[in-house]
Amino acid sequence: MGKESDLVSIERAICPDIYHPAVARDGLLTRLRIPGGVLDVKQCVAIADLVAVTGLDYVQVTNRANLQLRGLDRDLEPELLAKLIGCGLAAASAEVDGIRNIMTSPTAGIDLTELIDVRPLVAAWDEYLIGHPELGVLSNKFSVGFDGGGSVSILDRPNDITLLAVSEGEFLVHLAMGARGDAPVSVGVRLAIDECVPMLGAIARSYRRGVEELDGDVRRKPRLRDVIQAWGLAEFWRVVGAESEFAIGDVCLAQTVTQVNPQADTCAHLGVWPQQDIGLSYVGVGLLLGRLNSAQIDGLGEISRQYGSGEIRLTPWQNAIVPNIRDRDLVAVQQALAGLGLGNPINGLLTACAGATGCQFAGGDTQAEAISLSEYWASPSNIDRPINIHFSGCDKSCAQHYQADITLWGCPQTSERSPGYRLCVSGGTDKFGREIRDYLTPEDVRLAIDRLIRAYQEQRTSPQESFRTFTDHQSLAQLQQVLNVI
């Protein structure tokens, strides 16, 4: 087998798609690619049927607004694949289906403060990819995001390319050039709306050329950042310019050095929010670890059909949005969501990787621990302000690439102790934040977090002070003191 085939095999094992499931500890793993995270009622019904037919307990919304199916005992039958293709839940081309989901703000077109509705660009770029199967040679992690400049931003998501609206007719290009998980940074290039898809095509072709020129003796396909780092930004942009059909101007190198990774409000979309059209609102629904069972998927579709516009939007924070709800129907919608078991906003604050049941690298059963914490906080009164809590089975931080308010980092079992967790809070330069405890048993996790949150609520300067601001003002010794009794 040649090098390219070897790389394809390795890449498929890392990034599964509907045609190429990966093998995990708990069975086969695959994903449905949903451009922009938007589902209609017909697709909700198809997904509910898929869950029932495959015998799964649930599907999971991912941090790219995909839907993930794990624990499958076999590949999907051709009839199921044809049904998914027919309703737009899979690309007809196996080469293209593997490219990462196109990301956008889940409030595109309804956000009160957005500059540009980017939904047409999502559709246009998806159509471009479908028409260029040769781009399937790129890394399956190749990702593009469109940010309309509204209040629910995706600029901090680790896309290879993000186009950020900076005026009513212009985007600023951001490229991934740093370490794994870093947000893309501005290269100072501005594009008119009609230039966006041609420019993305030019970048993709240049990236493809870079992949072909780089040494193939690697354990994974080169990422866009690898090509940029190998060539240098100026040379990469010269190649992009040669591939483009229009002048792109100068690259602002200084901006790429000085820009700091943004930190979006991961809870900004949860709850009830007014839309652009007077009398309409959207409802952000917190999902426990992104999970939806068959009845919940079907139920969300029915709620949207009855009270909204027949549309459900998945978010990059593993939650969902029901848009275009008439204000007079909001109470009925919230009651219907509660009837589906989707009424607890605390669920939207928790993230967790697959954990030891699904991944050989994980040091703990992260999903079970997160669910246990959610059950403890069954009443929202335990937390009066959003606090993002992240369970990571190892240092890869697959479920969440940015710092959480509180991170539980899995410690594998040793001869001296059982599996447990390190406890970190936001702050500092480490991707998990500042470590305040190097080991907690799973049984002590709930107590430790409870004590931290109680200290925050009792000692903060005002009810509006965030947990992150509170911990930033505390010394390491002060934070450790809170846990000394554990």
pLDDT bracket for residue 313 (50, 70, 90): very high
Please write the tens of the pLDDT for every residue from 371-424: 988 887 765 456 778 889 999 999 888 888 888 999 999 988 787 888 899 999
The whole-number pLDDT of residue 9 equals 38
**Orientation of helix 196-213 relative to helix 233-243, angle to 10°:** 120
* pLDDT average, residue stretch 236-262: 63
Burial label for 361, CB within 10 Å (0-12, 13-18, 19+), is: middle
Judge whether 47 and 67 are in contact, CB under 8 Å.
yes
Q: With a cut of 60, say whether residue 252 has pLDDT above it.
A: no
Q: Which is more confident, 401 or 218?
A: 401
% of the chain at pLDDT higher than 90: 55
Distance of alpha carbon 453 from alpha carbon 445, whole angstroms: 12
Tell me what pLDDT residue 3 has.
Answer: 37
Instruction: Indicate if the alpha-carbon torsion angle 195, 15, 133, 84 is positive or negative.
Output: negative
pLDDT for 94: 79
pLDDT at 258: 38
Does 36 have pLDDT greater than 80?
yes
Q: What is the pLDDT of residues 193-213, one digit of tens each?
A: 999 999 999 999 999 999 888
Q: What is the model's pLDDT at position 215?
A: 60
Mean pLDDT along residues 117-138: 91
Token reading at 28? 């086969």
Of the two residues 3 and 404, the one the predictor is more confident about is 404
Mean pLDDT across 331-355: 89
pLDDT at 254: 42
What pLDDT shows up at residue 277? 94
pLDDT of 24 over the 70 cut: yes
Q: What confidence tens digit (pLDDT) does each residue in 256-285 have?
A: 443 444 455 667 788 899 999 999 999 999
Average of pLDDT values for 144-150? 96
pLDDT at 12 over 50: no
What is the separation of C-alpha 109 from the centre of its chain, rounded to a whole number of angstroms? 20
> What's the pLDDT at 484?
81
How much is the average pLDDT of 118-145?
Answer: 91
SS3 assignment for the chain: CCHHHHHHHHHHHHCCECCECEEECCEEEEEECCHHHEEEHHHHHHHHHHHHHHCCCCEEECCCCCEEEEEECCCCCHHHHHHHHHCCCCCCCHHHHCCCCCEECCCCCCCCCCCCCCHHHHHHHHHHHHCCHHHHHCCCCCCEEEECCCCCCCCCCCCCEEEEEEECCEEEEEECCCCCCCCCEEEEEEEEHHHHHHHHHHHHHHHHHHHHHCCCCCCCCCCHHHHHHHHCHHHHHHHHHHHCCCCCCCCCHHHHHHCCCCCCCCCCCCEEEECCCCCEEEEEECCHHHEECHHHHHHHHHHHHHHCCCEEEECCCCCEEEEEEEHHHHHHHHHHHHHCCCCCHHHHHEEECCCCCCCCCCCCCHHHHHHHHHHHCCCHHHCCCCCCEEEECCCCCCCCCCCCCEEEEEECCCCCCCCEEEEEECCCCCCCCEEEEEEECHHHHHHHHHHHHHHHHHHCCCCCCCHHHHHHCCCHHHHHHHCCCC
Quick check: 159 pLDDT over 70? yes
pLDDT category, 16, cuts 50, 70, 90?
A: confident
The residues, any chain, with a CB within 8 Å of residue 318's CB and separated by 6 or more, are: 60, 61, 62, 63, 287, 289, 290, 348, 351
Q: Whole-number mean pLDDT of the chain?
A: 86
**Given pLDDT bands bounded at 50, 70 and 90, which one contains residue 6?**
very low
Q: In sequence order, which residues have a C-beta less than 8 Å from that of residue 163 and are 6 or more positions away?
A: 118, 121, 144, 145, 146, 147, 171, 172, 173, 174, 191, 196, 200
Supply the pLDDT for residue 256: 45
Mean pLDDT (whole number) for 422-439 = 90
Query: Is residue 471 over pLDDT 90?
Result: yes
The reply to whether the predicted model has a pTM over 0.85 is: yes
Query: What is residue 316's predicted lDDT score, i.e. its pLDDT?
Result: 92
Is 408:387 a contact under the CB 8 Å cutoff?
Answer: no
Given this model, what pLDDT does residue 265 score? Answer: 63
What's the confidence (pLDDT) of residue 216? 56
So what's the pLDDT on residue 399? 85
For residue 7, pLDDT beyond 50? no
